[in-house]
């Protein structure tokens, strides 16, 4: 789980945040003044300060907020001057926008606010549609406006070029004032709420911000996007009454409370209309008592009434934003807020504590109980001068009602780091020196203030006893320093009792029912940790002690007695069960079988086993068997009707026909899979986590498999056949995995989340023995399921859902062959659950109209996004998000979502050497990860590498040669990348093979391979150290989905349409044979596991195969290779 | 990097080298050679002494013997305690191999004269492995009653119960743990089992063992440790300040630190019967 923040304001106007991984409120020190309210999103937090201005705090991210300004320089040819800026009167401006209608001279561009800075000066864009231009970036045309080409022709009369300049948002992690508009707002703001980031597919950063003014008017902030975090202007929203408070959810819910106590609900909010169209009125939950407060989430509405009662609105969703009725909930609150995942936070009316609603899940949105968040504040632990200052100013602002509270319990709230206590408020007699006792063990927070000076220990203890301190000072060893607090001013809030909160916002706080939070018992824990001194270090001590003693015990009790006989003889163990088996012969069907696994110990103590499948054939009992040590892979094939899995052996891999079995329940299947998997690993002597050299692959379903390469896997001329590789599953769910040979492994989920491998194994359904205890974390992935709505035009009714009899289903999959309706469509497997409703998908290639329709002359055909006279059919795509929660040895690398990643493949010299790692964000930015080493594989931060267009694939070779593919399908080489200059200096454009758009690149030791969108595999010819860009593309093979080139220049691919004796298989792992230094392209393909594979990386395997001396007969002649076809496009049908 | 899973293996595969000698008083046809075996710590004596029995039967008249009982330095060894517990309780800090004396019960004598050499006061009769199985399964059920109100063990099928037993009987770690892991699960939000199944043994007392209800987490949410357990159950076992350590607290032949969380101990250092067997023995004086 990534760390995210809960924001709150206390009654003195101090802003605090609490991390989901943290155990104390951290004060936001840079808040120059007190705040009234805050509203948070994941990437920023908005607030109203006491000067009534609106402030924005954008959280620093490795990806800068930068905006590309552009303007076009236009020129026309005349016989006298040649091309010059003397244009015809009817022409456009010399400097204009792309349409030519706006005059845009360079010095007209101004920074939008003081929070921005220019990155550099204006420069000319020398790329034109993915191709480099001749020089100076000019593109030519016959006349404005027309089609531009990069080549000057005889009839080129006009030309233009693009000027670029980037500006960057610099006010990160600080409260920056939003400049007030020219048209001054009538009155100051009293409430704000942000949300709406889920209503359309805009990248993270787009927000709806609603504000309420003191006169009860509502304003909407226009134009908040990632590259414009401040938004552009306020627009007033007409109202049926005067509003006191407003709440905007992540989706399309916006509710507000009127002065009179009714509620109003915004209707008509949608993808193209984040502001909505009208208001609907909802009565207060209680007829006599008006509503005072409302909070909305994605699918929930909570409200408070004047008597502090809490209400939950039933039946709220996108189609019915008003809901159907109120339910009274327990608790008395004065403020309530709904955070991410519809989690609920509130502030109690009595104690002003922040409460978290426990047990809120998508099926139980109202949750179970209120639980108080009882963590201390950082200010409770130590006084820095900064906090003293802010306390003071806060004290001037609010009246000090807190003073008179009792003190003794306060000490308990202090954390383990520094305990302090003041005598004054309690005793009332000792006025001047406040006495503090600082218990500061090793984890003390920073250096002590100069106001602290050491005094004698006994004296302090005496004072402590006097004040009735609860600290057990018997444990003197942890009392490392005792000090006197000599701040002259009496600080009225020095150590107050539990904090009093005024406002809380969970809009940036990503917790759900699975999240482990340390927010609730920390007081108890910290007191306990003092008395029992259980610290993380010591936790390790008891564990270490047990490990050490156990190994000592082994030495003592067993080492000298190995020759003794074992009391229990090893015997055969048989595990039996009933299953269904997909019969090997026609007609294929599921038949009931008895299944047995016999395990026995081999002569050297190694375990082995045999699988038996007993079936009836014409009343005759027969069986099929497989040796466990021949099983190459166990693949779970979960679909909604069967809990089935496939068992492959080398023979069955060749045939493309595994043993398919199905268990009665999912649990039973998992038990079998875990047992079989342990059994297979035992028989091969494989234990623990994958090695650094391991080959990783991913199936189309996102399952992760790993194989230990044998030493002779890349041997010449007789490599280990690919179908004999043993694959075992690793928990987790990924779309991409990349590794290198020192054990750094990164993955990317379907939702583009970046993950780093933790060194564990197992997870998922591998519980118990097949899984490590440590290094296994919860992993969440989200993907879309799509269905299509198809319509045909007829002259009477226009487009209707009544098609012709020959047509496809009106609701279908992409092919149109299978009926898929909104109601019958299920998530891909039982592990997935729906997390959204069906929505129209506008991001379909080819474009859509405003309602999401794509038009075509007939089914199936190519679709376009607008209706023409020739179109008679149309379709639109509906998407629904589903979520998978599993576990695996993966930890999230927040916050930037990625689409590709690559790690320098070769071995580093030591575990602290920095390893280059490059990635592409899902927006197409090129990123370079800093601080990646074998010890810290997650690295520390991203370095942004500028590009003029979005990228989609990247790969770094063993000699730091970086290649990338842009979204337009052309390749780029990054110059001058080295350990001194990890980000290199500039991009060299490399045209793609003619008429092909490249989609993926992989660079090995020296070879560069790319795959294009039509499945062709290309090898870069002519790459030399002095000319690393190479000279031309050479076609190697077709039907290729992905390629991975490794540090030995070995080449592996995922191939489609591979022939087997039983079936055609898409997504097959293939190994290029015959790759040698002098023949880097290799000769032919060897086929491995397949049928549904999507990704492979061999970049960890840097083991040089043993040298084989060939008989001189075969010298310099093509070598016969087993199990292959000597044919360069062998992967063809 | 050591993993907690390795502890389970170490616990399971713990072995005690043992030397069996026949009681001098036994009537034999010829002199009995001592017999050496590696005994699994987590098993029970009757499950692992078939070979011993066979060995000594060779020198005796086979039809005479019905039951065998074992003693160590005059103390009869209770077969229903795990072997490791017997060793830790009676023989830790002694020279290895562990020297066990074998006594044989003669059927005729026991049948005809009630006063035979079998220590009825100390030992239960164990006539077949099914008696051990019943004892073992009842321990597991008792432990699960404490841990999960018997919910897990009752949800298991008969074959799962059998697999637990067969796993122990045949020394099959994987088989046993494939089922046993279910008994070790608990809802995350509760932080542990309902109660920790434990037994505290002491050599100094006539009480067989201490077994009471004890939760892994205090009502305030504190994690209970081994020290907390002893403080409540057997305060004498804890060293007083500044005093020499008088007792060793031994589990599986090791002395975990007193701050070890009890829940972790229960999950990792329990015997196959799902109880945490804790031996409190006097610190050797040498």
pLDDT digits (tens, 9 = 90+) for B10-27: 899 899 999 988 877 766
Give one DSSP letter per residue of A869-910, joined into a string.
Answer: TT--EEEEEEEEEEEEEEEESEEE--S--EEEEEE--SPPSS
Q: Per-residue pLDDT for B50 more than 70?
A: yes
Please indicate if any CB of chain B lies within 8 Å of the CB of A541: yes
Q: Are strands B15-22 and B98-106 parallel, antiparallel or unpaired?
A: parallel
- Cα–Cα distance measured from residue A81 to residue A152, given in angstroms and rounded to the nearest whole number: 16
Comparing CB atoms, the residue among B173, B177, B253 nearest residue A557 is B253
Q: Write down the pTM of the prediction.
A: 0.66
Q: Which residue matches tokens 């609010």? A: A398
What pLDDT shows up at residue A113?
Answer: 86
Q: At what angle do helices B158-169 and B173-183 cross, to 10 degrees?
A: 130
Chain A residues in contact with B37 by the CB 8 A cut-off are 564-567
Give one DSSP letter per residue of A125-156, joined into a string.
Answer: --EETTEE-SSTT-EEESSSSS--BSS--TT-
Is A528 close to B16, i.e. CB distance below 8 A? no
Compute the nearest-CA separation of B203 from chain A (Å).
Answer: 21
Compute the nearest-CA separation of A59 from chain B (Å).
Answer: 32
Neighbours of A811 (CB within 10 A): 19
Is A565 close to B37, i.e. CB distance below 8 A? yes
What pLDDT shows up at residue A998?
Answer: 93
A370: part of which helix (H) or strand (E)? Answer: strand A369-372
Q: At what angle do helices B129-148 and B158-169 cross, to 10 degrees?
A: 120
Q: Report percent pLDDT > 90 for chain B.
A: 31
Chain A residues 693-732 with CB within 8 Å of chain B:
none
Q: Which residue matches tokens 């305030």? A: B220
Lowest mean pLDDT among A487-491, B189-193, B255-259: A487-491
Chain A residues in contact with B221 by the CB 8 A cut-off are 520-521, 524-525
Of B32 and A930, more confident: A930
Give me the residues of chain A with pLDDT under 70, please. 1-2, 31, 129-132, 134, 181-186, 379-497, 513-514, 521-540, 570-571, 601-606, 639-640, 767-773, 802-806, 907-912, 1108-1133
**Phi, psi at residue A736, to the nearest 5°?**
-135, 140
Least Cα distance to A321 among A257, A238, A254, A246 occurs for A254
Computed on alpha carbons and rounded to an integer, the radius of gyration of chain B in Å comes to 20
Chain B residues in contact with A759 by the CB 8 A cut-off are 1
What pLDDT shows up at residue A1125?
Answer: 41
Is B15 close to A767, i.e. CB distance below 8 A? no
- Cα–Cα distance measured from residue A275 to residue B1, given in angstroms and rounded to the nearest whole number: 55
Residues 6+ apart with CB under 8 A from B81: B44, B89, B201, B277
Digit-coded pLDDT (tens) for B73-131 = 888 888 889 999 999 988 888 888 888 888 876 544 444 444 456 676 667 777 778 88
Which DSSP letter does residue A864 get? B
- Answer yes or no: are the C-beta atoms of B89 and B72 closer than 8 Å: no
**The two three-digit tokens of residue A939, written as one number:** 């690295």
**The two three-digit tokens of residue A946, written as one number:** 């500028």
Q: What confidence tier does B277 reach under pLDDT thresholds 50, 70, 90?
A: very high
- Cα–Cα distance measured from residue A972 to residue A956, given in angstroms and rounded to the nearest whole number: 12
Is A772 close to B3, i.e. CB distance below 8 A? yes
- Cα–Cα distance measured from residue B96 to residue B17, given in angstroms and rounded to the nearest whole number: 7
B83: part of which helix (H) or strand (E)? Answer: helix B83-91
- Answer yes or no: are the C-beta atoms of A499 and A26 closer than 8 Å: no
Compute the nearest-CA separation of B111 from chain A (Å).
Answer: 30
Q: At what angle do helices A536-557 and B4-12 cross, to 10 degrees?
A: 30
Q: What is the end-to-end Cα distance of chain A in Å, rounded?
A: 44
Chain A residues in contact with B171 by the CB 8 A cut-off are 566, 568, 570
**The two three-digit tokens of residue A108, written as one number:** 């007209």
Least Cα distance to A732 among A751, A768, A757, A710 occurs for A757
Residues 6+ apart with CB under 8 A from A1073: A719, A1082, A1083, A1084, A1085, A1086, A1121, A1124
Chain A residues in contact with B257 by the CB 8 A cut-off are 541-542, 545
B133: part of which helix (H) or strand (E)? Answer: helix B129-148
Digit-coded pLDDT (tens) for A310-350 = 999 988 888 888 988 898 888 899 999 999 889 999 999 88
Chain B residues in contact with A532 by the CB 8 A cut-off are 225, 227, 259
- Cα–Cα distance measured from residue B207 to residue B226, given in angstroms and rounded to the nearest whole number: 21
Compute the nearest-CA separation of A547 from chain B (Å).
Answer: 7
Is B174 close to A524, i.e. CB distance below 8 A? no
Q: Describe the strand order of the beta sheet including A263-267 as a list of residue ranges.
A: A243-248, A254-258, A263-267, A278-282
Is B38 close to A556, i.e. CB distance below 8 A? no
Any idea what the Cα angle at residue A437 is, between residues A435 and A440, rounded to 5°? 150
Compute the nearest-CA separation of B8 from chain A (Å).
Answer: 9
Is A565 close to B177, i.e. CB distance below 8 A? no
Compute the nearest-CA separation of B167 from chain A (Å).
Answer: 9
Please indicate if any CB of chain B lies within 8 Å of the CB of A540: no
Which DSSP letter does residue A206 get? B
Least Cα distance to A969 among A125, A130, A126 occurs for A130
Q: Which residue matches tokens 């909160």? A: A501
Is B7 close to A772, i.e. CB distance below 8 A? no
**The two three-digit tokens of residue B270, written as one number:** 């329990």
Digit-coded pLDDT (tens) for B237-252 = 888 777 778 888 999 9
Distance of CA B70 to the CA centre of its chain: 15
Chain A residues 379-438 with CB within 8 Å of chain B:
none
Is B10 close to A551, i.e. CB distance below 8 A? yes
Compute the nearest-CA separation of B156 from chain A (Å).
Answer: 12
**The two three-digit tokens of residue A370, written as one number:** 């209120």
Size of interface A-B (CB pairs under 8 A): 144
């Amino acid at each position: 789980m990534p760390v995210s923040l809960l924001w709150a304001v206390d009654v003195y106007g101090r802003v605090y945040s609490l991390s989901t991984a943290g155990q104390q409120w951290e004060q936001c020190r840079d808040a120059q003044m007190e705040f009234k309210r805050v509203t948070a999103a994941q990437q920023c937090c908005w607030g109203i300060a006491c000067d009534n201005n609106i402030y924005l705090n954008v959280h620093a991210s490795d990806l800068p907020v930068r905006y590309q300004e552009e303007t076009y320089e236009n020129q026309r040819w005349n016989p006298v001057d040649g091309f010059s800026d003397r244009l015809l009167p009817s022409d456009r401006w010399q400097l204009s926008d792309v349409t030519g209608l706006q005059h845009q001279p360079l010095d007209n561009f101004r920074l939008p606010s003081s929070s921005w800075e220019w990155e550099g000066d204006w420069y000319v864009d020398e790329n034109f549609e993915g191709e480099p231009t001749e020089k100076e970036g000019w593109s030519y045309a016959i006349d404005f406006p027309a089609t531009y080409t990069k080549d000057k022709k005889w009839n080129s009369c006009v030309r233009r070029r693009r000027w670029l300049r980037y500006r960057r948002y610099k006010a990160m992690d600080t409260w920056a004032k939003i400049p007030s508009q020219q048209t001054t707002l009538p009155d100051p703001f009293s409430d704000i709420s942000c949300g709406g980031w889920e209503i359309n597919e805009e990248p993270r950063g787009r927000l709806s911000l609603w504000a309420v003014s003191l006169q009860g008017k509502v304003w909407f902030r226009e134009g908040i996007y990632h590259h414009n975090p401040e938004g552009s202007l306020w627009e007033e929203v007409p109202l049926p009454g005067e509003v006191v408070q407003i709440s905007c959810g992540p989706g399309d819910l916006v509710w507000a409370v009127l002065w009179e106590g009714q509620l109003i609900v915004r209707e008509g909010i949608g993808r193209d209309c984040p502001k909505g169209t009208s208001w609907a009125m909802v009565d207060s939950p209680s007829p006599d008592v008006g509503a005072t407060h409302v909070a909305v989430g994605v699918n929930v509405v909570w409200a408070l009434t004047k008597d502090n009662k809490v209400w939950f609105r039933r039946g709220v969703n996108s189609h019915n934003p008003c809901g159907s009725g109120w339910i009274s909930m327990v608790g008395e609150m004065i403020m309530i807020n709904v955070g991410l995942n519809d989690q609920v936070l509130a502030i109690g009316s009595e104690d002003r504590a922040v409460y978290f609603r426990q047990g809120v899940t998508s099926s139980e949105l109202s949750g179970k109980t209120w639980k108080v968040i009882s963590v201390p504040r950082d200010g409770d632990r130590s006084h820095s001068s900064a906090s003293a200052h802010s306390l003071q100013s806060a004290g001037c602002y609010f009246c000090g009602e807190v003073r008179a509270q009792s003190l003794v319990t306060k000490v308990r709230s202090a954390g383990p780091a520094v305990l302090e206590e003041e005598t004054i408020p309690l005793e009332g007699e000792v006025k001047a020196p406040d006495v503090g006792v600082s218990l500061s063990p090793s984890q003390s927070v920073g250096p002590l203030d100069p106001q602290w000076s050491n005094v004698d220990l006994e004296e302090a203890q005496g004072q402590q006893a006097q004040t009735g301190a609860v600290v057990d000072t018997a444990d003197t060893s942890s009392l490392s320093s005792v000090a006197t607090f000599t701040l002259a001013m009496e600080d009225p809030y020095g150590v107050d009792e539990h904090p009093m909160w005024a406002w809380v916002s969970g809009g940036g706080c990503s917790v759900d029912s699975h999240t482990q939070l340390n927010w609730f018992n920390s007081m108890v824990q910290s007191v306990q940790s003092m008395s029992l001194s259980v610290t993380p270090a010591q936790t390790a001590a008891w564990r270490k002690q047990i490990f050490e003693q156990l190994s000592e015990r082994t030495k003592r009790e067993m080492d000298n007695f190995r020759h003794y006989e074992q009391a229990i003889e090893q015997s055969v163990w048989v595990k039996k069960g009933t299953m269904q088996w997909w019969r090997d012969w026609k007609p294929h069907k599921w038949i009931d079988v008895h299944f047995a696994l016999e395990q026995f110990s081999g002569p050297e103590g190694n375990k082995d086993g045999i699988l038996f499948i007993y079936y009836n054939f014409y009343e005759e009992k027969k069986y099929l068997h497989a040796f466990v040590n021949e099983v190459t892979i166990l693949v779970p094939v979960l679909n909604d009707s069967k809990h089935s899995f496939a068992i492959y052996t080398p023979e069955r891999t060749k045939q493309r026909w595994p043993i398919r079995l199905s268990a009665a329940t999912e649990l039973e299947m998992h038990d079998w899979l875990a047992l079989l998997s342990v059994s297979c690993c035992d028989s091969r002597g494989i234990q623990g986590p994958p090695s650094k050299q391991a080959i990783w692959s991913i199936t189309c379903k996102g399952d992760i498999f790993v194989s230990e390469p044998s030493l002779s896997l890349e041997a010449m001329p007789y490599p280990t056949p690919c179908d004999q590789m043993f694959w075992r599953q690793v928990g987790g769910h990924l779309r991409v995995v990349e590794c290198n040979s020192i054990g750094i492994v990164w993955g990317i989920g379907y939702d583009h989340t970046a993950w780093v491998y933790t060194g564990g194994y197992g997870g998922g359904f591998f519980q118990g023995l097949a899984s490590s205890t440590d290094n296994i974390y919860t992993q969440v992935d989200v993907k879309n399921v799509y269905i299509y709505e198809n319509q045909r035009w007829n002259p009477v009714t226009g487009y209707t859902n009544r098609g012709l009899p020959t047509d496809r289903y009106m609701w279908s999959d992409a092919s149109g062959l299978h009926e898929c309706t909104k109601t019958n469509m299920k998530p891909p497997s039982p592990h997935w659950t729906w997390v959204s409703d069906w929505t129209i998908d506008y991001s379909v290639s080819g474009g859509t109209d405003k309602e999401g329709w794509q038009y075509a002359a007939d089914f199936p055909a190519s679709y376009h996004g607008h209706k023409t006279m020739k179109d008679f059919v149309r379709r639109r795509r509906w998407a629904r998000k589903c979520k998978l929660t599993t576990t695996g040895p993966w930890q999230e690398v927040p916050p930037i979502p990625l689409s590709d990643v690559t790690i320098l493949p070769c071995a580093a010299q030591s575990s602290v050497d920095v390893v280059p790692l490059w990635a592409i964000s899902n927006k197409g930015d090129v990123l370079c990860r800093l601080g990646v080493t074998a010890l810290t594989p997650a690295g520390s931060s991203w370095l942004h590498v500028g590009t003029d267009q979005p990228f989609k694939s990247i790969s770094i070779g063993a000699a730091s040669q970086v290649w990338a593919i842009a979204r337009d399908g052309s390749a780029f080489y990054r110059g001058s990348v080295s350990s001194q200059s990890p980000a290199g200096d500039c991009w060299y454009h490399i045209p793609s093979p003619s008429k092909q758009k490249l989609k993926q690149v992989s660079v090995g030791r020296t070879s560069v391979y790319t795959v294009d969108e039509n499945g062709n595999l290309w090898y870069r010819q002519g790459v030399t150290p002095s000319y690393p860009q190479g000279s031309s593309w050479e076609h190697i093979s077709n039907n290729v989905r992905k390629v991975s080139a490794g540090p030995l220049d070995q080449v592996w691919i995922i191939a489609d349409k591979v022939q087997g004796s039983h079936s055609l298989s898409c997504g097959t792992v293939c190994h290029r044979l015959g790759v040698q230094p002098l023949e880097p392209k290799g000769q032919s393909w060897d086929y491995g596991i397949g049928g549904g594979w999507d990704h492979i990386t061999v970049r960890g395997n840097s083991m040089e195969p043993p040298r084989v001396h060939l008989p001189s007969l075969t010298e310099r002649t093509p070598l016969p290779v087993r199990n292959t076809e000597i044919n360069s496009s062998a992967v063809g049908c | 990097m050591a993993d907690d899973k390795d502890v389970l293996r170490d616990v399971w595969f713990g072995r005690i080298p043992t030397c069996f000698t026949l009681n001098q008083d036994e009537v034999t046809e010829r002199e009995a050679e001592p017999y050496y075996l590696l005994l699994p710590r987590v098993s029970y004596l009757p499950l692992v002494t078939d070979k011993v029995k066979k060995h000594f039967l060779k020198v005796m008249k086979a039809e005479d013997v019905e039951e065998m009982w074992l003693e160590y330095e005059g103390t009869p060894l209770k077969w229903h305690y795990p072997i490791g517990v017997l060793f830790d309780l009676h023989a830790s800090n002694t020279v290895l191999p562990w020297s066990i004396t074998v006594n044989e019960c003669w059927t005729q004598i026991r049948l005809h004269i009630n006063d035979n050499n079998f220590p009825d006061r100390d030992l239960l009769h164990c006539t077949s492995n099914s008696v051990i199985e019943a004892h073992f399964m009842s321990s597991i059920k008792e432990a699960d009653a404490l841990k999960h109100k018997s919910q897990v063990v009752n949800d298991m099928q008969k074959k799962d119960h059998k697999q637990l037993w067969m796993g122990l009987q045949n020394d099959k770690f994987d088989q046993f743990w494939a089922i046993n892991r279910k008994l070790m699960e608990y809802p995350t939000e509760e932080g542990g089992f309902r109660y920790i199944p434990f037994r505290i043994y002491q050599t100094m007392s006539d009480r067989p063992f201490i077994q009471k209800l004890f939760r892994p987490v205090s009502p305030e949410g504190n994690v209970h440790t081994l020290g907390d357990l002893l403080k409540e159950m057997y305060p004498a076992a804890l060293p007083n300040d500044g005093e020499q350590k008088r007792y060793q607290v031994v589990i599986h032949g090791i002395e975990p630190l007193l701050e070890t969380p009890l829940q972790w101990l229960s999950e990792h250092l329990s015997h196959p019967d799902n109880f945490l067997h804790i031996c409190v023995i006097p610190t050797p004086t040498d």
